[in-house]
Structure 1
Amino acid sequence: ATFFPPSTLLVLCVVCTLVVFSVSMTAEQKLKNCNEVRAAYSSKGFNVNDVPNKGVNGASLKVCPQGFSCCTVEMEEKLSQQSHTEIKAPVSRLSTNLQSTFRQRHDHFDKFFRELLKNAEVSLHSMFVRTYGMMYVQNAELFKKFFEALTRYYVSGGAAVNLDSMLSDFWADLLERMFRLVNVQYEFTDAYMECVSRHTEQLQPFGDVPRKLRIQLTRAFVAARTFVRGLTLMPEVVNKVSMVSASPSCVRASMKMLYCPYCSGQVALKPCQNYCLNVLRGCLANQADLDTEWNNFLDAMLSLAERLEGPFNFESVMDPIDVKISEAIMNMQENSMQVSQKVFQGCGQPKPSKAFRSKRSIKDTGFNGRFRPYSPDARPTTAAGTSLDRLTTDVKKKLKHAKKFWSTLPETVCAGERIAPGDECWNGTAKSRYESVVIGNGLANQVSNPDVDVDITKPDIVIRSQIAVLKEMTSWLKAAHSGNDISFETDEDGSGGEESGSGCDSPSCDTDMYFSTTRSPVKPRIDSVGSPSAGGGRLTRKRGAGALRAGPGPARSPLEIKVAGQEEEENDQNWWSEGENCQRDFKKTAFRTLDYPP
């Protein structure tokens, strides 16, 4: 043991006493003089006269430590509201930036898709005027209505336009008009032409173009409009859920963290980071519960974005659509004799036209067009001045950055100048280390929050409803990723909410179909976006005279047409790539002179 002489012990006692006295004098001096608090309080826009000139008894304070204080009850109430405002500010700023980011991306995509539609219409018009001349001009309204319907479908979906029905009607109408042109030596009644148009699917006058075009349009349009819908939803959800809780416990915790240092005269003292995290996780407990469905939604958006870059590329579908429709028209002309003969067998022999001149030249029929080589470079550009690939690459970066936005919000707020590093920080009662454990995110974890009293039995109704909205949108995105559109139309039997698809593409869907020559007033009932239209697949019609039959059945009509099985998706993509690049020799497919049947 070490022994000190009495004189040394006396000196040590005096030094310790002086140190304690000096520290207490410094704190007491700050409380005796509240000038720093007055200046800081006034800078917040409050009346400086609210602040006492020196420390007063704080026994009546409700939030901050009692004892001598530079705060009054009135100041505490005002600073409580100020603290909640300051907690909300960074959250509001972050959420506003997020909303702005995806509103802009929505506007870019929406404008781009609309302009692609318009440019495709302009391109088709220009090409067909050059190729078909007056024959096209006299029938231009058919194609105008076609693009108008596509635009309505993009904007409003199946509620405004049944895409399959619209495409079926388009090809049937086109067949009717072309059938008259290639058979000008005959007269056709309206009833006769209805017989022709009813059997467009079985006649396949346009080859396999209608079927493939239907699949491509369905997938591309469903993907595009669903993706844009997702971009619309994001700002709406963020706007509804980004409000920081204004519960008394959250306001109290905010006040204690931000402004109780004022009451002890330490206006520059900032909260400890872990202390800040517990307060923010308590005040944003419900928002953190969004994270799971929010991330699922973003993953679905990213997956659909990949589809937009690949097989469901809206730009690749719309760009060569004029060439594809032209290819269908060429198929019709090249096979017009066979088509006409089958129609005459099935619908009856028409009467010769009295006005027809047997020596009429082929020029008079209007079929004298010859295609010009297709050049993608000659196409009009969109006002957006970009491509779908560039737009998609950009939005994918933003979507990835937005993941875990809600669960990391407390960390984002409790950073930088808002907190004090190390142990030189405010822990809620004094300038010292924060000893409590940092609790987890989400409402359930707040049962053990030491700084914010959260009722975990009462989840926020608005946020719960938005979780349901995100979940529903995610299901739509996943359906679109598979080429399907979800409709909630109620059928006659009362069932609803079915998922519509792009049609069966497997060989098992091959079916022999026949139609009788008797006219049927019943139109096919198409139940889904993906049910077949012109060009193949399954088609059901109510039984009756003239009904379509799948497979074996009663006595068959002389007109017997087998619907070709659908090819694999890979072949569809190869076909579309050929249309996009269009390297074919158009001279080989120029219109040929027809030998009309006598």
Structure 2
Amino acid sequence: MAASDALPLLCTLALTVAALVGAELKSRTCSEVRLAYSSKGFNLNDVPHQGVSGAHLKVCPQSFTCCTPEMEEKLSQLSRSDLKAQVSKLSSSLQATFTQRHRRFDQFFKELLDNAEKSLNDMFTRTYGVMYMQNSELFKKFFLDLKNYYVQGGVNLEAMLADFWAGLLERMFVLVNVQYHFSEEYLECVSKHTEQLKPFGDVPRKLKLQVTRAFVAARTFAQGLAVIGDVIGKVSAVNASPGCVQAAMKMMYCPYCSWQMALKPCHNYCLNVMKGCLANQADLDTEWNNFMDAMLNLAERLEGPFNIESVMDPIDVKISDAIMNMQENSMQVSQKVFQGCGQPKLGVASRAARSVPDNGFNTRFRPYTPDERPTTAAGTSLDRLVTEVKKKLMFAKKFWSALPENVCTGERIASGDECWNGQQRAGMSQRLWEMD
């Protein structure tokens, strides 16, 4: 049979099949659709008992159907909620991850400062006794300023450290020169010469470099972790356009209209719809990835020269080294001060004051043994925390551009060849095409 002779026969067969299908649909009840529709919480009165003409439908195919315009409207609202819920589920998991990491890092950092302060207080009390306790507020303010910087900023770390060393010099200068009386003006002159005198050796310079870069890095990293959670929360709030809602409804619920409630979207069809609906999120991808890269770079620094743990853990030993340096060079320092600020007046030293050089800050500092050292902050270490965060940062890269793919996965889409393509069951049309 020639192709030209076969064409009229195929057309006749097609019309016959269409007529048979149409007759079947007209006689088919909508009971299954009514059940599925009501399971979504909608009123059964919206659903006809038997198939009706779909000429008035605005979204779904206008063939014989169990849907009405009222059902389309309600299913559109449901598809909007479904889309938001799907995106929220994916983003909430990521948001919770970074919120948890921020909380963990914040807890670690605060405990690290508390442990460092406790360590210094315990050892200085044991080593220097009354002389330390009488001047302990200087050290308390030192740690309070560090905590305030981390929590709220607004503290000039370099100026704060300079004030600490100047204050320590004033107090030690009095203790190593108990035979003299010093006015407030004289002590102000002493503190002004702190940097020039270098009474604490190279410790203040090294500590300033270590503390400033480590604290700035740690605070910035903690703020970055908090910002990640905030950004995810804001960006994941899908503001679906009318076109997106229509497309999502057509993809998810139009199969209901043709008695195919169990039919799920084709993968590529779902991707196209989601790319349109989530275009605003995808536009953020470049800036988002730049932010992730910046955080990863900062994490590398925290593992290396900006490691706040390696700065704070031995800070008591470093300050004690500075004190011992001042004690060992007290005569030279005092002579330079006398030359610059003038010869002080002799005073009447008390018996307690005369005993200070033998029992006070000239005592050699004895650091803790490893077994005596305070427990690690928050039961972990900075290296372990940063390693965990780096893994999460790498995972989060391209999160927004990959969102359509992550939405269109698992139970949301058809697992086999037969799927909904927006008009009909795709597998059926494919088989007819292959037969032709």
Is 2:182 the counterpart of 1:151? no
Q: State the shift of 1:389 in Å.
A: 1.2
Aligned equivalent of 1:251, options 223, 228, 245: 245
Find the aligned partners of 2:414 and 2:68 in 1 and give their Cα distance.
26
Q: Tell me what 1:417 maps to.
A: 411
Would the aligned equivalents of 2:112 and 2:377 in 1 still touch at CA under 8 Å? no
The equivalent residue for 1:207 is 201
The answer to whether the aligner puts 1:387 opposite 2:378 as a matched pair is no
Aligned position for 2:48:
52
Residue matched to 1:443: none
1:29 alignment partner in structure 2: 24
After superposition, the C-alpha distances for 1:89-114 in whole angstroms (9 at most, x for unaligned) are 11010111111111100000000000
Give the drift of 1:338.
0.6
Aligned partners of 2:354, 2:297: CA distance in 1, in Å? 58
Query: Is the aligned partner of 1:94 residue 2:95?
Result: no
**1:106 counterpart residue number:** 102
Q: 1: CA distance between counterparts of 2:376 and 2:321?
A: 25
* From 229, 240, 252, the counterpart of 2:234: 240
Question: 2:12, 2:315 → 1: CA distance?
Answer: 93
Change (3 A) 1:111 1:291: same
- Is 2:278 aligned against 1:284? yes
1:173-252 aligned within 5 A? 173-252=167-246
- Where in structure 1 are there 5+ consecutive unaligned residues? 3-8, 436-598
Matched, 1:319 2:313: yes
SS at match of 1:68: coil
Aligned to 1:166: 160
Q: 1:398 to 1:362 in 2, by over 3 A?
A: closer
Name the CA shift for 1:361/1:286 in 2 (closer, same or farther; >3 Å). Answer: closer
User: In 2, distance between residues paired with 1:166 and 1:350?
Assistant: 28
The answer on whether the counterparts of 1:272 and 1:433 sit within 8 Å (CA) in structure 2 is no
Does 1:115 find its partner at 2:111?
yes
Counterpart Cα distance in 2 of 1:47 and 1:367: 85
The answer (yes or no) to whether the contact 2:33–2:261 under 8 Å persists in 1 is: yes
Say if 1:121 and 1:362 are closer, same or farther in 2 by CA, change over 3 A.
Answer: closer
Greater alpha carbon shift after TM alignment, 306-315 vs 360-369:
360-369
Counterpart in 2 of 1:75?
A: 71
How is 1:387-466 mapped onto 2 (pairs within 5 angstroms)? Answer: 387-421=381-415, 423-432=417-426
Equivalent position amino acid for 2:241 in 1: S
Structure 2 residue matching 1:69: 3-state secondary structure: coil
Distance (whole Å) between structure 1 residues aligned to residue 151 and residue 227 of structure 2: 15
Q: TM-score, normalised by structure 1?
A: 0.67
Secondary structure of 1:57's counterpart equals: coil
- If asked which structure has higher relative contact order (CA below 8 Å, sep 6+), I would say 2
**CA 1:271/1:41 → structure 2, altered by over 3 Å: closer, same or farther?**
same
The one-letter code sitting in structure 1 at the alignment partner of 2:206 is K
CA distance in 2, matches of 1:268, 1:29: 20
Between the aligned partners of 1:274 and 1:19, the Cα distance in structure 2 is 29
Matches of 1:414 and 1:434, distance apart in 2: 22
Secondary structure class of the residue paired with 2:48: coil
Shift of 1:372: 2.0
What is the percent sequence identity of the aligned residues? 71
Tell me the CA shift for residue 384 of structure 1.
2.1
Asked if the contact 2:418/2:428 (under 8 Å) is kept, the reply is: no
> Counterparts of 1:345 and 1:331 in 2: how far apart (Å)?
20
**CA-atom RMSD in angstroms:** 2.6
The change in CA–CA distance for 1:73 and 1:146 in structure 2 (over 3 A counts) is: same
Contact 2:317–2:367 (CA under 8 A) maintained in structure 1: no
The one-letter amino acid of 1:295's match is N
- What CA distance in whole angstroms lies between the structure 2 residues aligned with 1:23 and 1:99? 52
Is the contact between residue 29 and residue 49 of structure 2 (CA under 8 Å) also seen in structure 1?
yes
Q: 1:308 to 1:226 in 2, by over 3 A?
A: same
2:39 and 2:177 mapped to 1: Cα distance?
89
Contact preservation (8 Å) 1:275, 1:434: no
Work out whether residues 182 and 365 of structure 1, in 8 Å CA contact, stay in contact via their aligned partners in 2. Answer: no
Alpha-carbon distance, 1:200 to partner: 0.3
Counterpart-to-counterpart distance in 1, 2:243 and 2:11: 42
Task: Provide closer, same or farther for how the CA distance between residues 376 and 20 of structure 1 changes in structure 2, counting only shifts above 3 A.
Answer: farther
Partner of 1:348 in structure 2?
342
Asked whether the 8 Å contact 1:423–1:434 carries over to 2, the reply is no
Q: Which residue of 2 aligns with 1:62?
A: 58
Structure 2 CA distance, aligned partners of 1:279 and 1:345? Answer: 82
Q: Which sections of structure 2, spanning at least 5 residues, go unmatched?
A: 430-436
Whole-angstrom CA distance in 2 between matches of 1:185 and 1:288: 74
Instruction: State the TM-score, normalized to the length of structure 2.
Output: 0.91
Alignment deviations for residues 91-147 of structure 1 (CA, whole Å, 9 cap, x no partner) = 010111111111100000000000000000000000001111100010011001110
* 8 Å CA contact retained: 2:169, 2:194: yes
CA contact (8 A) 1:288 1:406 kept: yes
Q: Give 1:20 shift.
A: 7.4
Query: 1:427–1:433: 8 Å Cα contact kept in structure 2?
Result: no
Q: Distance in 2 between matches of 1:262 and 1:30?
A: 14
The question of whether the paired residues in 2 share the 8 Å contact of 1:181 and 1:365 is answered with: no
Indicate how the Cα distance of structure 1 residues 382 and 23 shifts in structure 2: closer, same or farther if over 3 A, else same.
farther
Q: Structure 1 27/151 Cα, relative in aligned 2: closer, same or farther at 3 Å?
A: farther
CA separation of 1:191/1:112 partners in 2, compared to 1, >3 Å: closer, same or farther?
Answer: same
Distance 1:434 1:164, change over 3 A: farther
Rounded Cα–Cα distance in structure 1 between residues aligned with 2:205 and 2:222: 26
Kept in 1, the 8 Å contact 2:131–2:360? The answer is: yes
Equivalent of 2:81 in 60, 82, 85: 85
* Correspondence for 2:369: 375
Q: Distance in 2 between matches of 1:136 and 1:265?
A: 84
CA distance in 2, matches of 1:156, 1:166: 15
Instruction: Write the distance in 1 (CA, Å) between the matches of 2:22 and 2:121.
Output: 85
Aligned residue identity for 2:236: S
Contact 2:128 2:359 in 1 (8 A): no
Aligned residues: 424
The residue that corresponds to 2:434 in the other structure is: none
Equivalent position amino acid for 2:267 in 1: Q
Q: For the residues of structure 2 that align with 1:362 and 1:232, how far apart are their CA atoms?
A: 49
Using the TM superposition, name which of 411-420 and 329-338 deviates more: 411-420
Equivalent residues of 1:186, 1:350 under 8 A apart: yes
1:506-517 equivalences under 5 Å are: none
Q: Shift in Å at residue 201 of structure 1?
A: 0.4
Question: Which letter maps to 1:69?
Answer: T
Alpha-carbon distance, 1:64 to partner: 1.1
2:393 alignment partner AA: L
**2:432 aligned residue:** none
The residue number in structure 2 matching 1:141 is: 137
